Amino acid sequence: MTGSSRWWYDVRVSLEAFGVKNLRCLTDTGLVPIRPITVLVGKNSSGKSTFLRAFPLLRQSVQTNRNSPILWYSDDHPVDFGSLREAASAWLDEPSVTFDFGLRLPEDRLLFNEEIECQFGVTIVGDEIPYVNDYLIQAKGHRIECSFDPKGRMQRFSINGRRVALDAPLSLGGRPRLLPSLWAQGTSGVIYSSAPETSTTGNPGLSSDSDEVLLPPVRRAVKELFDGDLGALAILSEVMLLQSEAEMLKDVAQTARNARLRKNASANINEWEIVFRGVARLVPYLIQAADFTVSRFMSRVAYLAPLRVSAQRAYRVTNLAVDEVDPDGKNLAMFLRSLTGDEAQSFASFTHEAMGFETKVRTTGMHAEILVRQGESERFLNLIDVGFGYSEVLPLAAVLWTSCLRPLLQGREPAPLVAVEQPELHLHPAHQAKLARMLVAAVTKGKGSRILVETHSESLINGLGKLVYEGEIRAEDIQIVLFDQDAETERTTVRLAGYREDGALRDWPYGFLSPVAERRAHRTAAE
């Protein structure tokens, strides 16, 4: 989860890595870095699509009011995992799925004095109504573990391996999008709510009634240090920020030196207890910050499914507002028809530079046609007359443009991630190589967007290597994720690979592609 000074690692992009455990054949992917371009490669049924579809799954979850953390299936949404039992790995006695997030959380006056990297894992269990079973949080060197019963009551709370004793019960509660925080009640009061339609960029407004349980122990821990110095007490018990253990101990010592010490105070002040209790008190706020960050990211993920609708000679005109392309591309004609003049020109330039064609929509009465002009030709032809490949690549181009480039024309943030399955369907290998240029153009011009693509295309992989060699994109800005399933156990292992600066593949297991394809990829730089 290393950062970068390049602009596409903007502070608005806050999910740095992602992983799943026990989701279908994926036993444990580990945290997979999400780069400007992340390519998923492997044989059929090896888990590539499962990993990719976890993103639209989380999107449809945080966009919908529901009675459990994940919306595994809905008629109104594109991703269908069935249920938790159907989604969980078949070898488990009890269904359980874990989502792991590598986050960069922004500075916040209640939590951090700087951006921090945080790893957050949430495990969901249960048959009829799945629920959050446990959290594993790692931040600033602290390891925080929480577990809950089916009613949301906290069963275990530990920090760095030490159990946190509580004065009163804590349970899951609030109105989270995905990750319920802690509150001072005996049973769960969780109401899973949808993310707002318009994403906000400000402070999420952290607050927690768990302070009535977690703040008094902090005050007791610092009581021996002070004699009525409420200012110093407030610094430690109410405004202590999450830092490393060493940094927090240093702050405690500094505050003690600056305070008027109690004359008969013990010489053995337990600074470790102060830090321990201070971290425990901040956990509910940390969960809220993670919930805000994850749900805000996932709510704006764009997705293109592998099965796109067939092109038609004409489309019935509707007057519905069209802001984005459907995952199967069925509203493509109305989307293109809705573009302003400047937007239509921008989209035409994008497709012409990357793929060598332009489109426009011609409306006659209550019907509209999608027209395509190839290369430098002056003639526009109906989409259905220019070959099946164009009808497949056009929805992809539209999703990339509207997610990465259109928002810049409107003064809005680009989508943080575009998830695409099999963009090469029905395309000639020469056009598959051009896809690489379109993907690179989208992320380099999109200023913040990233692309997650699942592919079987050797030409696309070779094309990306060629663009690395030509300096169009840096090698470290492309992550290749290899999914390798064991034939006997049907469990998949995940390995990471990528490109060298000369465009050749690195950390690539021999035989993963066909030998011919691998020889081509390794000599890309020389070509």
| pLDDT at position 5 | 30
**Domain boundary, last residue among 280, 301, 323:** 280
Q: Which residues of the chain have pLDDT under 70?
A: 1-13, 196-205, 224-239, 258-269, 388, 510-527
Position 357, amino acid: F
Q: How far apart are CA 15 and CA 1, in angstroms?
A: 9
39 belongs to a structural domain: no
- My answer on whether 20 and 104 are in the same domain is yes
Give residues with Cβ within 8 angstroms of 326, minimum separation 6: 332
Burial level of 483, CB count in 10 A (0-12/13-18/19+)? buried
- My answer on whether 141 and 261 are in the same domain is no
**Domain boundary, last residue among 148, 165, 200:** 200
Helix H or strand E segment including 349 = helix 341-355
60 belongs to a structural domain: yes
| pLDDT at position 12 | 47
> Cβ distance 124 to 136 under 8 Å?
no
| pLDDT at position 238 | 61
314 belongs to a structural domain: yes
Nearest residue to 248 (alpha-carbon basis) of 209, 281, 211: 281
Helix H or strand E segment including 138 = strand 131-139
- My answer on whether 226 and 184 are in the same domain is no
Indicate left, alpha or beta for 160 from its phi (over 0: left) and psi (-120 to 50: alpha): left
Give residues with Cβ within 8 angstroms of 246, minimum separation 6: none
| pLDDT at position 96 | 97
> Cβ distance 121 to 22 under 8 Å?
no
| pLDDT at position 515 | 53
Q: How far apart are CA 327 and CA 364, in angstroms?
A: 27
Give the global pTM. Answer: 0.91
List the alpha helices (DSSP H) in 27-164: 48-62, 84-87
Tell me which residue range forms the domain holding 196: 15-31+53-200
329 belongs to a structural domain: yes
| pLDDT at position 1 | 34
Number of domains in the chain: 3
Q: How far apart are CA 142 and CA 160, in angstroms?
A: 6
Question: Tokens in use for 82?
Answer: 């069935």
At 505 the three-state DSSP class reads strand
